[in-house]
Structure 1
Amino acid sequence: MHYDLDVPREARALPHNPLKAIVAPRPIGWISAMSRDGKLNLAPYSFFNAVADNMVAFSSSGRKDAMTFAEEGAAFVCSLATWDLRDGMNDSSAPLPRGESEFAFANLATAPSRKVRPPRVAASPAALECRWLQTVPLVPLEGGEAENFLVIGQVVSIYVDEAYVKDGMVDTGAMHPIMRGGYFDYFQATPETRFQMRRPKGAGEFSGS
């Protein structure tokens, strides 16, 4: 079977685009941002990832508040979405009017960041404080106006709950992060699903500093 995206939707082999089910599970960028006049926005983005040792990026479909607030305030924070916070994460995706806080709507407390204005989700065990670097319009092959935008930030400070630090390393599985699949699917990471592999000799063990 082949699912071609360059043919009319009614001529495609499946009723739904399988891309999100194949590029999965995906980390969730739970992005908080503050507008220049101090309004808060919080929203989860599954088109999110680390793109360098000190940079992350998320993709916005349309110019949504998380993107525009990150640009206005030149900063954003990515809080880790976990199993215990799954309902709050989901509620924060509600399409609220600009300037209405998803923190309040989802009954989530804020905690101050160290180096940027937007707060983090207080109950989240980890958060990345980012300075906004640039927004890249993703112009499609056929040209025209971009409908998707890649927002890139440089991480300037990282919060981690000390309960999840063991022997100087963050225990990711113990935090039970959740990840996005296709359709309505999510995945949960746990210590039981973790495994380790050593890199080939000469490839190094860790990168970054």
Structure 2
Amino acid sequence: MSEFETADIEREASRCVRPPRVAASHVVLECRSHTTLRMGNSTLVLGRVLHAAVDEDHLVDGRPSSESLRPLTRLGGDEWGTLGEVPHLNRIPYEEPGAPDGQP
């Protein structure tokens, strides 16, 4: 049974993978399966991102805005998660003295 049809969601062709993507999605990650790990009665799926795109309306200074996107995560079973409050902490830029080697 198609989740697209069941949920009445419009789909469109993906750029790099065969399965279609959600047409109205503000963020697209097209992935190829890399590894699956059984964890109890669940499966952790790891993928390699082949294509990523973000709607320009949800970019701030060239980066995706968590506050604007308000992502919803699938935790497992019938459980879902949201970000809640997003604290902003300044990172040490790579170029500055005192930054760990190779760490942004």
TM-score using structure 2 length = 0.71
Matched, 1:198 2:90: yes
Gaps of 5+ in 2: 93-97
Whole-Å separation in 1 of the counterparts to 2:81 and 2:32: 29
State the aligned residue count: 98
Aligned residue in 1 for 2:95 = none
| Higher helix proportion | 1
Aligned residue in 2 for 1:162 = 56
Matched, 1:109 2:10: yes
- Identity fraction in percent: 33
- Please state whether the residue corresponding to 2:68 is helix, strand or coil: helix
Aligned residue in 2 for 1:125 = 26
* Change beyond 3 A, Cα 1:135–1:105: same
Offset of residue 123 of structure 1? 1.4
Offset of residue 188 of structure 1? 4.0
TM-score using structure 1 length = 0.39
Offset of residue 156 of structure 1? 0.8
Gaps of 5+ in 1: 1-99, 141-146
Offset of residue 185 of structure 1? 6.9
How do 1:34-49 residues align onto structure 2 when only pairs under 5 Å count? Answer: none
1:174 pairs, out of 22, 47, 68, with 68
Offset of residue 134 of structure 1? 2.4
Whole-Å separation in 2 of the counterparts to 1:123 and 1:164: 13
Whole-Å separation in 1 of the counterparts to 2:71 and 2:37: 28
Offset of residue 137 of structure 1? 3.4
